[in-house]
Amino acid sequence: MKSILKKITLAISITGLFCNISAAQDQPKATGKSEATIGLSYNKKADSKTAVAVVKVKKDGRFVPALNAKVNFYAVHDKEQQLLKSASTDNKGRAVIELQKGLPVDENLASTIVAKIENDKLYENTEEQMHFKEANLTLSLNPADTAHLVTAKLTEMDKDGKEVPVKGAELKFYVQRLFGSMPAGENNTVTTDENGIATFAYSKNIPGDTAGLITVAVKMEDNEQFGSIESKLPAAWGTSLAIIKDPFPRALWGVYAPWPIIITLSTLFGIVWSIYVSIVIKLFKIKKEGGMPNV
Amino acid sequence: MATEKFDLKQEIETLREDCLRPTRTFGRSSQIWVGFLLAVMAWGIFCYIRQLRYGLGVTAMRDYVSWGMYISTFVFFIGISHSGTLVSAILRITKQEWRRPITRSAELLTFVSLCFGGIQPIIDLGHPERILNLVMYGRVQSPLMWDVISIMTYFTGSTVFLFLPMIPDMALCRDRLTVVDTRYKKFKKWLYTKLAIGWKGTKTQWHLLEKTMGTMTIVIIPVAVSVHTVVSYIFAMTLRPGWNSTVFGIYFVAGALYSGSAGVILGMAAFRKIYHFEKYLTPRHFDLIGKVVLALTLVYAYLNMNEYWIPAYKMATAEGHLLSDLFYGNYSKIFWTCQFGTVLIPIVIMSFPKGRKITPLVITCIVIVIGAWVKRYLIVVPTMLHPFLPIQDVTKEWSTYFPNYVEFSVEAASLAGMLLIITMFSKLFPMMAVWEVEEGIEIDYDKEVAVELGKQRIADHAKAAAEAVKVSNGQLKQPA
């Protein structure tokens, strides 16, 4: 009996200890600051290059975005760090800076960026670094009407400043929509060949705008060497969108009421309210009459 | 004739004094009564604030029953508001002389029941500020919009209809109450002067007043009918078992008139007792309005039969489930009690002259008014619990409904608010239209005078004839 009790006590103590440990991990440290982790990525689009730091903290056993964390971004060159910019995290825990041209590169033509949280009021010091190489993604459309082919070519610069194809990179093909990107097909991923080329045939019945235009988008997402790159190109491949002149006909179930209802209601209640108005006018007459001397 | 003239003046003077007396006092019992009503209101407001703070979850309403006690009470109050139209407008149009002492209380009942009926749908909203969406984004083709428009129109009309016959009485109050030492003299003087709008009782003023009252009497009837018809449309135009009825409009109007007229009797009896209006609200008045209530109850019973008998004959699937629940299911006790206790038995009682005596009539009307509320509850709640798609896999709390303390408290506060306004009104203004009752007394007096004159003339004629016979007989007896 005693041994059973001992075992139970031990089990409870161990469980309690673990609970305390996991709870302690969730708790802010003695300094009152939370321990944060940084995820760093490089994004290249047609018009911009950005470094994105996603900062998270552990709360109740889950990672949640860290708000208002000040992140300093440094470029590393010959082991020296040069501050590029600082940014604070938003409600998604994202701090974004735009990268200018001419970032220092190492002998492999790779740039190194370090993101740091330093002396922040809310979070402990932490840092993360990434290396990435510059790559170019160019798109071209098949001029023939027979097939809606998009050819994407991925290249990088060699040490001599020449463009060389990137082989074996996964590219994804999309159609740009108002609030996001729509995959161009069920399997929209194509790997580049030895020429750095990936080709994808778009469907012929993709709805476009009123002129039948769609925007073709090709992305390389979270590549280990090159980060994320996106390139877009308009194509007159979509089916034209016919604008309905009156999408909400006047109906009982529609947005606008049928005219007969408006006229009937306005007439009936208009009559009643005009009578009310006439009564108020008469009341004023009674009042006016009261102001006159008695005869 | 001189003595009779003096009596008429005396009678009118007594009437004026009797009507104005309640406005001069605010005794201990009145203070206790007002304090009690304020306490009930304060508790109700506290509960409503809780509802605002924590959401409609503090009530017994859940996903299936989103229209519970609040909407039932809304329909009930709008129904009661028909009292003013019926008693005042219809009896005015038909020139019923006995209407005179009861029109004011009927019109007041309309006004207050509309005040508190109109806010019920807002109370039913988790976010009351969203009522503004009806104004900003309202769809003219929606029955809810019709409801808002017609209730606003009826409320405005009823306020004017209440105010118009008060003008000469306000002048009376202005001239009488302010000369004696009363409490809040300054305030009352200001109030009566404003409300009397310079009334002097000139010929032109009387002419204008009669004209406006004549117009309002005609206009208010269709407006009142439209209000309850539109309230019924909110239900009838929703695709739900039990509400899919073509007679709902007239059924609601008849139900409103039936409960409204019963409400008027309760008001009459209360004021008669409290303010000693026995001289003016006689058993004859109760007998006559009792007959009106009887007639309306018969119409209501007929429509009630149509409302349930026709779908019961078919027992179509979804409707059948609802009717089964009403006839011999969860709601059967309350349903049959309502049908027999508040419709059929009152018909039997009021069919006999003894049943239209004050005490039995008042008891019957209390039962009718309570029954009218229960009937609204039976229209709203069982239907909500019988949607076309069966309720499955939900907790018992969701598939049943009985109002909880929050709803009862808020509704008690609404009722207390109504009674408070009526009480304060009766402490400020005469509860009978003094000039109208005076007019009635004068008409009665004129009739009496005419009868007296007629009698006098007949007697004179008879006397003259007798004289003539005497003379002619004398002449005959005289020697040639």
Q: How far apart are CA A238 and CA B343, in angstroms?
A: 70
Whether A282 sits inside 8 A of B212 (CB atoms) is yes
DSSP state of A128: E
Q: What is the mean pLDDT of residues A170-177?
A: 95
The answer on pLDDT for A139 being more than 90 is yes
Chain B residues lying within 8 Å of A288, measured CB to CB? 198
**CA of A257 to nearest chain B CA: how many angstroms apart?**
5
Q: What is the pLDDT of residue B183?
A: 66
Q: What is the pLDDT of residue B217?
A: 93
Domain interval for residue B346: 2-456
Residue A5 inside a domain? The answer is: no
Instruction: Give the tens place of pLDDT for each residue, A257-290.
Output: 999 999 999 999 999 999 999 999 999 999 998 8
Q: What is the pLDDT of residue B1?
A: 42
- Residue B215 has its nearest CB partner, among A254, A275, A285, at A275
The answer on pLDDT for A157 being more than 60 is yes
Q: How far apart are CA B157 and CA B163, in angstroms?
A: 10
The answer on pLDDT for A27 being more than 50 is no
Asked if B63 contacts B397 with a C-beta cutoff of 8 angstroms, the reply is no
The answer on pLDDT for B263 being more than 90 is yes
Residue A71 inside a domain? The answer is: yes
Provide the 3-class DSSP secondary structure of residue A60: coil
Do A169 and A260 share a domain, yes or no?
A: no
Do A57 and A79 share a domain, yes or no?
A: yes
The answer on pLDDT for A252 being more than 50 is yes
Q: What is the pLDDT of residue A249?
A: 84
The verdict on B237 touching A (C-beta cutoff 8 Å) is no
Provide the 3-class DSSP secondary structure of residue A173: strand
Residue B479 inside a domain? The answer is: no
Q: Which residue, among B404, B322, B306, B359, has the nearest Cα to B69 in the 3D structure?
A: B404
Q: Which residue of B has its CA nearest to A279?
A: B212
Residue B474 inside a domain? The answer is: no
Residue A183 inside a domain? The answer is: yes
Contacts 24+ apart (CB under 8 A), B36-41: B37/B416, B37/B417, B37/B419, B37/B420, B37/B423, B38/B416, B38/B420, B40/B412, B40/B413, B40/B415, B40/B416, B41/B413, B41/B416, B41/B417, B41/B420
Residue B466 inside a domain? The answer is: no
Chain B residues lying within 8 Å of A292, measured CB to CB? 202
Q: In which band, very low, low, confident or very high, does the pLDDT at A292 lie, cut at 50, 70 and 90?
A: low
Instruction: Give the tens place of pLDDT for each residue, B358-410.
Output: 999 999 999 999 999 999 999 999 999 999 888 888 888 888 999 999 999 99
Which CATH number is A197's domain given?
A: 2.60.40.10
Instruction: Give the tens place of pLDDT for each residue, A82-133.
Output: 899 999 999 999 999 999 888 888 888 899 999 999 988 889 899 999 999 9
Whether B198 sits inside 8 A of A286 (CB atoms) is yes
Residue B392 to residues B330, B398, B399, Cα–Cα distance (Å):
18, 10, 9
- Give the amino acid at B258: Y
Q: Which residue of A has its CA nearest to B198?
A: A290
Structure token digits, residue B270? 């209360």
Q: What is the mean pLDDT of residues B246-263?
A: 92
Do A164 and A192 share a domain, yes or no?
A: yes
* Count of domains for chain A: 3
Whether B153 sits inside 8 A of A272 (CB atoms) is yes
**Mean pLDDT in chain A?**
86
Asked if B412 contacts B70 with a C-beta cutoff of 8 angstroms, the reply is no
Whether A269 sits inside 8 A of B149 (CB atoms) is yes
Q: What is the pLDDT of residue B184?
A: 75
Our CA dihedral for B476, B477, B478, B480, rounded to 10 degrees, sits at 70
Q: Tell me the β-bridge partners of A218.
A: A173, A231
Residue B348 inside a domain? The answer is: yes
Structure token digits, residue B416? 């207390």
Q: What is the pLDDT of residue B170?
A: 94
Whether B139 sits inside 8 A of A286 (CB atoms) is no
The widest CA-to-CA distance across chain A, in whole angstroms, is 116
The answer on pLDDT for B82 being more than 90 is no
Do A36 and A89 share a domain, yes or no?
A: yes
Interface ipTM = 0.87
Instruction: Give the tens place of pLDDT for each residue, B133-179.
Output: 988 888 899 999 999 999 999 999 999 999 999 999 999 998 887 65
The answer on pLDDT for B50 being more than 50 is yes
The verdict on B35 touching A (C-beta cutoff 8 Å) is no
Residue B259 inside a domain? The answer is: yes
Chain A residues lying within 8 Å of B198, measured CB to CB? 286-291
Structure token digits, residue A221? 């997402």
Q: Which residue, among A166, A139, A165, A132, has the nearest Cα to A237 in the 3D structure?
A: A139
The answer on pLDDT for A26 being more than 70 is no
Q: What is the pLDDT of residue B404?
A: 94
Q: What is the pLDDT of residue A262?
A: 93
Asked if B157 contacts B163 with a C-beta cutoff of 8 angstroms, the reply is no
Chain B residues lying within 8 Å of A251, measured CB to CB? 141
Q: What is the pLDDT of residue A3?
A: 60
- Residue A294 has its nearest CB partner, among B200, B209, B219, at B200
Our CA dihedral for A79, A82, A84, A89, rounded to 10 degrees, sits at 70
The answer on pLDDT for A25 being more than 60 is no
Asked if A49 contacts A75 with a C-beta cutoff of 8 angstroms, the reply is no
Q: What is the pLDDT of residue A170?
A: 94
Q: What is the pLDDT of residue B391?
A: 86
Residue B441 inside a domain? The answer is: yes
Domain interval for residue A167: 135-235
The answer on pLDDT for A295 being more than 80 is no
Q: What is the mean pLDDT of residues A150-162?
A: 89
Whether A276 sits inside 8 A of B146 (CB atoms) is no
The verdict on A257 touching B (C-beta cutoff 8 Å) is yes
Tell me how many residue pairs between chain A and chain B have CB atoms under 8 A apart. 70
Q: How far apart are CA B228 and CA B256, in angstroms?
A: 7
* Strand A148-157 to A197-202 pairing: antiparallel
Do A167 and A223 share a domain, yes or no?
A: yes
Asked if B277 contacts B271 with a C-beta cutoff of 8 angstroms, the reply is yes
Whether B197 sits inside 8 A of A278 (CB atoms) is no
Asked if A175 contacts A207 with a C-beta cutoff of 8 angstroms, the reply is no
Residue B73 to residues B68, B124, B463, Cα–Cα distance (Å):
9, 11, 69
Residue A18 inside a domain? The answer is: no
Chain A residues lying within 8 Å of B214, measured CB to CB? none
The verdict on A147 touching B (C-beta cutoff 8 Å) is no
One-character DSSP codes across B392-435: -S--HHHH-----HHHHHHHHHHHHHHHHHHHHHHHHS-SS-HH
Which CATH number is B59's domain given?
A: 1.20.1630.10
Whether A287 sits inside 8 A of B198 (CB atoms) is yes
Q: Tell me the β-bridge partners of A219.
A: A172, A230
The residue out of A133, A161, A184 marking a domain boundary is A133
Q: What is the pLDDT of residue A142?
A: 79
Q: Which residue of A has its CA nearest to B222?
A: A272
The verdict on B156 touching A (C-beta cutoff 8 Å) is yes
Q: What is the mean pLDDT of residues B287-296?
A: 94
Whether B197 sits inside 8 A of A283 (CB atoms) is yes
Between CA B119 and CA B291, with CA B303 as vertex, the angle to 5 degrees is 85
Query: What is the CA B339 to chain-centroid distance, rounded?
Result: 22
The more confident residue out of A19 and B129 is B129
Residue A143 inside a domain? The answer is: yes
The answer on pLDDT for B3 being more than 60 is no
Residue B476 inside a domain? The answer is: no
The answer on pLDDT for A23 being more than 60 is no
Chain A residues lying within 8 Å of B196, measured CB to CB? 290
Chain A residues lying within 8 Å of B202, measured CB to CB? 289-290, 292, 294-295
The answer on pLDDT for B455 being more than 60 is yes
Q: How far apart are CA B105 and CA B112, in angstroms?
A: 11
Helix (H) or strand (E) holding A38: strand A36-44
- Residue A290 has its nearest CB partner, among B198, B215, B216, at B198
**CA of A80 to nearest chain B CA: how many angstroms apart?**
58
The answer on pLDDT for B185 being more than 50 is yes
The verdict on A278 touching B (C-beta cutoff 8 Å) is yes
Chain B residues lying within 8 Å of A295, measured CB to CB? 202
Q: How many CA atoms lie within 13 A of B308 on its CB side?
A: 17
Q: Which residue, among B208, B211, B264, B250, has the nearest Cα to B85 in the 3D structure?
A: B264
Helix (H) or strand (E) holding A221: strand A214-223
Residue B265 inside a domain? The answer is: yes
Helix (H) or strand (E) holding B376: helix B358-384
Q: What is the pLDDT of residue B354?
A: 95
Q: What is the pLDDT of residue A120?
A: 87
The more confident residue out of B466 and B233 is B233
Q: In which band, very low, low, confident or very high, does the pLDDT at B477 lie, cut at 50, 70 and 90?
A: low
Q: What is the pLDDT of residue B476?
A: 61
Q: What is the mean pLDDT of residues B19-45?
A: 92
The answer on pLDDT for A5 being more than 80 is no
Q: How far apart are CA B243 and CA B241, in angstroms?
A: 6
Asked if B209 contacts B353 with a C-beta cutoff of 8 angstroms, the reply is no
Residue B54 to residues B50, B69, B406, Cα–Cα distance (Å):
6, 18, 12
Whether A272 sits inside 8 A of B215 (CB atoms) is no
Q: Tell me the β-bridge partners of B64.
A: none
Q: Which residue, among B370, B132, B372, has the nearest Cα to B251 in the 3D structure?
A: B372
Q: How many CB atoms lie within 10 A of CB B142?
A: 16
Q: What is the pLDDT of residue B452?
A: 79
Chain A residues lying within 8 Å of B215, measured CB to CB? 275, 278-279
* Low-confidence winner among A37-41, A45-49, B125-129, B446-450 (lowest mean pLDDT): B446-450
Residue A6 inside a domain? The answer is: no
The widest CA-to-CA distance across chain B, in whole angstroms, is 122
- Give the amino acid at B90: I
